[in-house]
Structure 1
Amino acid sequence: MSRTVYVNGEFVPEEEAKISVFDRAFLMADGVYEVTSVLDGKLIDFPGHMARLHRSLNELKMKPARTDDELLAIHRELIARNDLESGMIYLQITRGAADRDFIWPTDAEPGIVLFTQAKEQVNAATAKTGLKVITVEDQRWARRDIKTVQLLFPSFAKMEAKAAGKDDAWLVTDGEVNEGTSNNAYIVKNDVIITRNLSNDILHGITRAAVLRFAREAQMKVEERAFTVEEAKAADEAFCTSASAFVTAIVEIDGATISAGEPGPIAARLREVYIDESRKTAI
């Protein structure tokens, strides 16, 4: 059975979903997106994702396609129609369709697409094994804090990791780790959790914010600062966070084994706390 997707005001089978060839997301990567996790048929961190969506839209001077209440209703309808218990809902908003021009159209109707993706979240195999990553020089544009659909370089980096027989890549500038291809990056040294501070250099992760809040509430020490690849290789633990992977350990960086090659206790504890707390607040 095919998925039901939402395209510009209509719920349709995925085979019948269509957008204009003149949509600026297709022509110019002129669009933003959000990914909200679904656990037990409910949405995790939905208000946070909506807040970041508005920030991305504002930074690109784009109009919202729907109100937050309307978007919540659409998300819930997609969960129901697709019988989704565990996975994600992708939301993409574009500047709309207009004749190809570098100048933004002023009268285009924003485009909107939502679709589901089923995925085992809680008992994912990588939660037990951890991930192996390589480092790749970061060549993305300078506004990585805006969650745009411009994902070509992260895709290149992910493919480079796959070609090397690894799971993912950490993106690096001048020897310092920015983030993963689709996640925020962390190391642990002497029981201190270290992750890059918020700036235009990284995505302001919604899962990141929740995990750091839970860590501080549990009296864990947190430092928000840049860290080097060499620091990461010498770390006691490493992990990443994202809406699609929650908290997942990193067990190898550029061939260097981290935490005896298995998920460490802090990453494991944060994953457990994140899942437990998210279930309490899911809507």
Structure 2
Amino acid sequence: MRTVYLNGDYLPEDEAKVSVFDRGFLMADGVYEVTSVLGGKLIDFDGHLVRLRRSLSELDMQEPAAMGDLLEIHRELVARNEIDEGLIYLQVTRGNPGDRDFHYPPEGTAPTLVVFTQAKPGLAASPLAQRGARVISVPDMRWGRRDIKTVQLLYPSMAKMMAQKAGADDAWLVQDGLVTEGTSNNAYIVKDGRIITRALSNDILHGITRAAVLRFAREAQMEIEERSFTLDEAKDADEAFFTSASGFVTPVVEIDGCKLSGGTPGAVATRLREIYIDESLKRAT
């Protein structure tokens, strides 16, 4: 049985309980991070902690533990659950005020901290990355602070189900004719050798994998243009891909039925995936 971490204790998953009055349950008042594990090591962990602190700060939420302690918790869960390839989810909520109220809990209310693992054998050798993802476009109906990694994931979940119903792998979200990002990933197109992706703002998540991939791309002398692009541009692109902590670099071969790069993973996305995995493993903790 899987071991999870809850508020200072390592527990069997069926013994880990959170109050019905927890703000995460009642108000989606919480943030989270996902760290990949390859070869039993954490990928981009420092970056995830930096973003976690930013999300907590933006929501005026108390840090649940010392950042160094969070690293040890992650390592302990990897060991206890014997994770070689997989994911670690960390969630922090504003805690349990003892009742339901729109106002924040009284000062001194302890945040809730949950950390759990998911074993994902074959994460690096993803079949989806090998064949390429098919995406559909859907309207972006999320709240305006997408740069904060909150647990408010209802609409992204709905969009993924729209994609599944349409026989696709995922959805790209569109606002005012411009692609913002995927349901759980950052979106890119490639045109005439240039990698194009939306610039950082409140409109998109500041992806940790995004930052690493763009850094590696620049080191490889690839040309990058950070700007918004339209859905029509995406359909006319030479290739496309998305990045995330769980998907690394995943080629996109079809958008709304329009095939890209001949319906097979493009050379730029394929090379970036190889570079990202190789370089990330060198830096893993």
TM-score for the superposition, normalised by structure 2: 0.98
Distance in 1 of aligned mates of 2:11 and 2:228: 45
How many correspondences in the alignment? 282
Q: Tell me which residue corresponds to 2:50.
A: 51
Q: What do residues 71-125 of structure 1 show as CA deviations (whole Å, max 9, x unaligned)? A: 0000000000000000110000010001211110122101000000111211110
Q: What do residues 51-85 of structure 1 show as CA deviations (whole Å, max 9, x unaligned)? A: 00000000000000011110000000000000000
Q: What do residues 200-223 of structure 1 show as CA deviations (whole Å, max 9, x unaligned)? A: 000000000000000001110000
Distance in 1 of aligned mates of 2:221 and 2:87: 30
Amino acid at match of 2:116: F
Q: What do residues 222-261 of structure 1 show as CA deviations (whole Å, max 9, x unaligned)? A: 0000000000000001000000000000000000001111
Q: Tell me which residue corresponds to 2:65.
A: 66
Distance in 1 of aligned mates of 2:164 and 2:129: 19
Q: Are residues 1:103 and 2:103 paired?
A: yes
How far is the alpha carbon of 1:127 from its aligned partner?
Answer: 1.5
Amino acid at match of 1:199: S
How far is the alpha carbon of 1:30 from its aligned partner?
Answer: 0.3
Distance in 2 of aligned mates of 1:231 and 1:124: 27
Q: Tell me which residue corresponds to 1:22.
A: 21
Q: Secondary structure at the match of 1:63?
A: coil
Distance in 2 of aligned mates of 1:107 and 1:69: 22
Q: Are residues 1:151 and 2:158 paired?
A: no
Q: Secondary structure at the match of 1:103?
A: coil
Q: Are residues 1:39 and 2:38 paired?
A: yes
Distance in 2 of aligned mates of 1:206 and 1:198: 12
Amino acid at match of 1:157: A
Q: Tell me which residue corresponds to 1:4.
A: 3
State, as a whole percentage, how many aligned pairs show the same letter.
67
Matches within 5 A, 1:116-155: 116-119=117-120, 120-155=122-157
Q: Which runs of 5+ in 1 are unaligned?
A: none
How far is the alpha carbon of 1:15 from its aligned partner?
Answer: 1.0
Q: Secondary structure at the match of 1:203?
A: coil
TM-score for the superposition, normalised by structure 1: 0.99
Distance in 2 of aligned mates of 1:154 and 1:280: 32
How far is the alpha carbon of 1:8 from its aligned partner?
Answer: 1.0
